[in-house]
Amino acid sequence: MEGRPVLERRRAEIEALIARVALGDRQAFDALYEATSAKLHAVCLSVLKERPAAEEVLQEVYIRVWNNAGRYAANGLSPMTWLITIARNRAIDRLRAENGRPPAALPEAAEAVASSAPGPEEQVIRREQQRMLDNCLDEMGDAQALALRAVYLEGASYAELAQSAGAPINTVRSWLRRGLVQLKDCVSQ
């Protein structure tokens, strides 16, 4: 299927940008922002429901990305999964703070001391989950597996996937729906 190389190339480009950001490359940071900010803004907005708050959190997300880009390679996640996780967690932190729950004491100080890298037990669990997911995706058809990987693991939009696969958007939706059903069945076994 033609879409896979396009998505792999996109993933490699984002990984390369993150690596350059880790070295302090401002142009790479600008390019990373251009390539990912719409998706990350949507993640923040889906949690916070208010555009101004989502925009503020998005700024915090990119500050965190700038400061922690060097940690990306060690965690084994796809670049969009890593970025989306940062955005979602920051948005949830903001939501908790706004709802009157006290935020964790001095979160910036805690980050300076504690590494965000997963511990050995969590790494084993993640590897096992990744192996199970890969096995399930390998068992299903190419179209469904590509669609699930692109949208849910790489952060591609339905339109991007439809364009890269050369398929109508409703076909992409069908691939995703069938793929999720197959994935649910496989994981529950």
The per-residue pLDDT of the chain, averaged, comes to 80
3-class secondary-structure state, position 166: coil
Split at pLDDT 50, 70, 90, the class of 113 is: very low
Alpha helical stretches, state H, 49-168: 51-68, 72-75, 79-98, 107-113, 120-139, 142-148, 158-165
What is residue 75's predicted lDDT score, i.e. its pLDDT? 53
Q: Which residue has the tokens 């998706």?
A: 39
Rounded-to-integer distance, Cα 2 and Cα 166, Å? 8
Q: Is the pLDDT of residue 106 over 60?
A: no
**Cα Rg of the chain (Å, integer):** 18
**Average confidence (pLDDT) over 8-23:** 86
Q: What is the DSSP string of 86-117?
A: HHHHHHHHHHHHHTTPPPPSSHHHHHHHS--S
Q: Give all domains of the chain, ordered by start, each with its CATH number.
A: 3-117 (1.10.1740.10), 121-188 (1.10.10.10)
Q: String of b and e for 150-165 (b: at least 16 CB within 10 Å)?
A: bbbbbbbebebbbebb
What is residue 154's predicted lDDT score, i.e. its pLDDT? 74
Beta carbons within 10 angstroms of residue 104's beta carbon = 12
Q: Which residue has the tokens 């990744």?
A: 130
Q: Any residues with CB less than 8 A from the CB of 172 and at least 6 apart, and which?
A: 147, 158, 161, 162, 165
> Using one digit for the tens of pLDDT, what is the confidence trace for 125-160?
777 877 887 788 888 878 888 888 878 777 778 888
Q: Is the pLDDT of residue 124 over 70?
A: yes
> Using one digit for the tens of pLDDT, what is the confidence trace for 25-66?
999 999 999 999 999 999 998 889 899 999 999 999 999 999
